[in-house]
Amino acid sequence: MAAHASVSSKILSTHLRLVLACLCLTLVAGCSSTKSNVDPTAGWSAERLYSQARSEMSSGNWSEARKNLEALEARYPFGIYAQQSLIDQAYINWKDEEPEQAQATIDRFMQQYPNHPGTDYMLYLKGMISFTPPSAILSGFTRQDPSERDPKGLRQSYEAFNELIRRYPDSRYTPDARLRAAWLVNTIAENEVHIAEYYYKRGAYVAATNRAQTVVTDFEGAPIAEKALYLMMLSYDKLNLPKLRDDAKRVLDSNFPNSKYYEQGLDEPSSAWNPINWF
């Protein structure tokens, strides 16, 4: 009987030690979890949060910089640091290849602070977002002509740069915006000609003439207007409209004497240049 009691006591003691051990592990895990959930920036001033964010930006640590700026904006929604936070968040999102987030941040900034001194920069950044999307990096290797890409982003970029030029002619960002806007005009016009040529080669001659006419009327001075006029001449000929064909030829010969397209046709010679690298 005594032996049985001794064994029971030992079993109870072992169970007690296991329970205590499990309890200790639970407490340690709980403490660790609590520590990991503690925000290291709790209690920081707006100035300190912004300083830390700028430091992370300098190191290219976009994720940490974004966290500090978002915390700053949430805790101190009023004042110059909150305003600057939005400007920097837009830049970070652009650099971190998050164009949609960058665009949303810019729109929010311009809605909240329409007369902010940094508006010219935000317009410039808005133009840059769609001027050099992440996919443009690959064009340096693929040699894809930017005018062959979806023109929506090109048009958005042009509109932003054009608004900057119109509203802030003396801005430090305007000279570069003018260069980019001029390139975009030519590129958008080239896109229209690509589409017109696509229609022509598939026998949609009316659609081809409409697209080519848009280039001639809306993009005056664009070099690609030469090809647009040649396409119009060919399309009118296919439509059996000799008067319109001759009118297009007359305008082509007047503006581009001895046009190269008479000899080479529509197919352009291959080229290794890539205008995206001009900037």
The answer to whether residue 106 is domain-embedded is: yes
The answer to whether residue 187 is domain-embedded is: no
* Distance of alpha carbon 278 from alpha carbon 184, whole angstroms: 12
| The predicted structure's pLDDT at residue 130 | 86
In 59-173, alpha helices (H):
62-75, 80-95, 99-112, 119-131, 136-142, 151-167
- For 59, phi then psi, to 5°, come to -90, 0
For the CA atoms of 239, 246, 230, 225, the dihedral, rounded to the nearest 10 degrees, stands at -120
| The predicted structure's pLDDT at residue 136 | 46
Q: For residue 65, give its domain range.
A: 47-113
Measured in Å, how far apart are the chain's first and last C-alpha atoms?
Answer: 95
The answer to whether residue 108 is domain-embedded is: yes
The answer to whether residue 69 is domain-embedded is: yes
How many domains are contained in the chain?
1
* Distance of alpha carbon 165 from alpha carbon 178, whole angstroms: 7
Q: Taking a C-beta distance cutoff of 8 angstroms, is the pair 182, 163 a contact?
A: no
| The predicted structure's pLDDT at residue 137 | 41
| The predicted structure's pLDDT at residue 138 | 38
* Distance of alpha carbon 176 from alpha carbon 173, whole angstroms: 6
* Distance of alpha carbon 81 from alpha carbon 128, whole angstroms: 24
For residue 144, how many other CB atoms are within 10 A of its CB?
15
| Residues ≥6 apart with Cβ < 8 Å to 185 | 158, 219, 222
Residue ranges, the chain, pLDDT below 50: 2-3, 5, 7, 11-12, 28, 32-35, 134-143, 271-278
The answer to whether residue 22 is domain-embedded is: no
The answer to whether residue 223 is domain-embedded is: no
The CATH number linked to 83 is: 1.25.40.10
Handedness of CA 105, 110, 112, 117 (dihedral sign): positive
* Distance of alpha carbon 19 from alpha carbon 236, whole angstroms: 92
Tokens 């802030």 — which residue? 168
Q: Taking a C-beta distance cutoff of 8 angstroms, is the pair 85, 57 a contact?
A: no
- SS3 (DSSP) at 220: coil
- For 61, phi then psi, to 5°, come to -90, 75
| The predicted structure's pLDDT at residue 247 | 97
| The predicted structure's pLDDT at residue 7 | 46
What the block records as the tokens of 278 is: 């001009």
| The predicted structure's pLDDT at residue 9 | 53
Q: Identify the helix (H) or strand (E) that includes residue 237.
A: helix 225-238
Q: Taking a C-beta distance cutoff of 8 angstroms, is the pair 145, 190 a contact?
A: yes
| The predicted structure's pLDDT at residue 13 | 57
pLDDT of 12-28, one tens digit each? 455 556 555 555 555 54
pLDDT of 87-105, one tens digit each? 999 999 999 999 999 999 9
| The predicted structure's pLDDT at residue 221 | 85
* Distance of alpha carbon 237 from alpha carbon 254, whole angstroms: 19
* Distance of alpha carbon 183 from alpha carbon 9, whole angstroms: 89
The answer to whether residue 131 is domain-embedded is: no
The answer to whether residue 118 is domain-embedded is: no
